[in-house]
C-alpha cells in the first residue's frame, strides 16, 4: 500500500510533534505524502472555549512552517497544507471564505460540536460526562434525538461545500459504547445516515477511514464502521485512509487493518493528493493491497 495521511495534528493545536519532526518520521516510515490538518481556530467571541484548537494568532506561522516543509522535503515527501475545520452551525464551517483566501490544499470538514435548541454547546467526542450532560440538557435525555441532530449537522456541512474530506464520519459513536444512548443500526439511524451519504455521493467529497479512535484507545473500530463502508462503496463514494495522528508513533497505525476492511467492503483503490510533478495538487487513485 502507498502510505499517506491527510489528517495529521501538530503542536499548533493538540498534537504533540512539530511539522519538521512529523515529516522526518513519515519519511522513515516510507510515506509518499503527508497532509497537515491542525484544528482550525475558533472564531473569536463565538462563546466556545477549547484547549484543542489552534490559537488564531498561530495560523500564519502554521501556514509558513508547512509551506517551508513542502519545499524542504520536495523529492522525498509530498507535503500538503490542510486544516481540520469544524462545522458548527451559525459559528463556522469549511465553506467560510477565509479558508479559500489562505490557499489551503484541502480542508477536512468535521462535526465535533452540537448546539442544541436548549442547553450549552458540547462536543460529541468530549468526556463521557459532557456527552451525557449534552443529551440530558439539550435533548431531554433522548439519545436518538442527539443522533439525528448529529447526522443533520454532517449533512448540512457536506451540502455547504468547502471541504474535500469528511472527517471521522460516525464520530458520534465514540461516547455510545454498547449502544447506551441510541442504536447504531436501527431504521432511524440508517435513514439519517442514508440522507448524508446521498449528499456525499457524486459531490467529490472523500470519506476518510480514520484509525485515530483506535490509536488513542477510545474505541475499537475505525470511523466509519465497516458496514457503513459497504454503503459508501455501493454509492461509489471515494475513500482514503488517515490516522488522525496526534503523535508521530501513530502516523500509520492500523493501516493494514483499515486496508483490509476497505477491500472487504469492495474497494480496490484509495485517494491520495499528489503534487503531480509540480503541475499542482490533484487527487489520484492508489491501488489497495
Shortest Å distance, C-beta 190 to Zn ion:
23
Shortest Å distance, C-beta 108 to Zn ion:
7
- Closer to Zn ion by Cβ: residue 105 or 244: 244
Which of 107, 113, 80, 81 lies closest to 94 in space, CA to CA?
107
Burial label for 18, CB within 10 Å (0-12, 13-18, 19+), is middle
- Closer to Zn ion by Cβ: residue 110 or 232: 110
Task: Residue 285: count other Cβ atoms within 10 Å of its Cβ.
Answer: 13
- Closer to Zn ion by Cβ: residue 16 or 142: 16
- Closer to Zn ion by Cβ: residue 13 or 228: 13
Non-local (6+) Cβ contacts of 88 within 8 A are 46, 48, 113, 115, 121
Shortest Å distance, C-beta 186 to Zn ion:
25
Which of 278, 220, 273, 276 lies closest to 286 in space, CA to CA?
273
Q: Which residues bind Zn ion (CB under 5 A)?
A: 84, 110, 167, 244
Shortest Å distance, C-beta 241 to Zn ion:
14
The β-bridge partners of 34 are 5, 79
CA dihedral of 92, 239, 266, 226, whole degrees rounded to 10: -50
- Closer to Zn ion by Cβ: residue 83 or 135: 83
Shortest Å distance, C-beta 74 to Zn ion:
25
Amino acid at each position: 500500500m502507498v502510505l499517506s495521511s491527510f489528517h495529521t495534528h501538530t503542536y499548533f493545536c493538540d498534537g504533540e510533534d512539530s511539522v519538521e519532526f512529523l515529516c522526518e518520521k513519515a519519511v522513515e516510515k516510507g510515506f509518499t505524502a503527508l497532509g497537515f490538518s491542525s484544528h482550525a481556530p475558533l472564531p473569536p467571541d463565538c462563546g466556545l472555549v477549547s484547549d484543542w484548537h489552534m490559537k488564531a494568532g498561530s495560523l500564519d506561522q502554521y501556514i509558513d512552517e508547512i509551506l517551508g516543509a513542502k519545499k524542504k522535503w520536495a523529492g522525498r515527501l509530498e507535503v500538503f497544507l490542510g486544516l481540520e475545520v469544524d462545522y458548527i452551525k451559525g459559528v463556522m464551517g469549511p465553506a467560510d471564505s477565509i479558508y479559500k483566501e489562505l490557499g489551503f490544499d484541502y480542508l477536512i470538514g468535521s462535526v465535533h460540536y452540537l448546539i442544541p435548541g436548549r442547553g450549552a454547546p458540547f462536543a460529541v467526542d468530549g468526556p463521557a460526562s459532557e456527552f451525557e450532560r449534552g443529551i440530558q440538557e439539550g435533548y431531554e435525555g433522548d439519545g436518538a434525538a442527539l443522533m439525528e441532530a448529529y447526522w443533520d449537522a454532517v449533512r448540512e456541512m457536506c451540502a455547504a461545500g468547502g471541504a474535500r474530506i469528511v472527517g471521522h464520519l460516525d464520530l458520534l459513536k465514540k461516547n455510545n459504547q454498547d449502544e447506551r444512548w441510541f442504536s447504531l443500526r436501527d431504521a432511524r439511524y440508517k435513514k439519517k445516515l442514508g440522507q448524508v451519504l446521498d449528499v456525499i455521493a457524486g459531490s467529490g467529497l472523500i470519506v476518510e477511514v480514520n484509525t485515530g479512535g483506535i490509536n488513542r484507545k477510545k474505541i475499537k473500530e475505525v470511523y466509519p464502521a465497516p458496514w457503513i463502508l459497504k454503503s459508501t462503496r455501493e454509492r461509489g463514494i471515494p475513500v482514503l485512509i488517515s490516522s488522525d495522528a496526534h503523535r508521530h508513533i501513530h502516523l500509520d497505525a492500523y493501516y493494514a487493518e483499515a486496508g483490509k476492511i476497505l477491500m472487504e467492503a469492495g474497494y480496490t483503490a484509495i485517494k491520495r493528493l499528489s503534487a503531480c510533478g509540480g503541475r499542482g495538487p490533484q487527487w489520484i487513485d492508489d491501488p489497495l493491497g
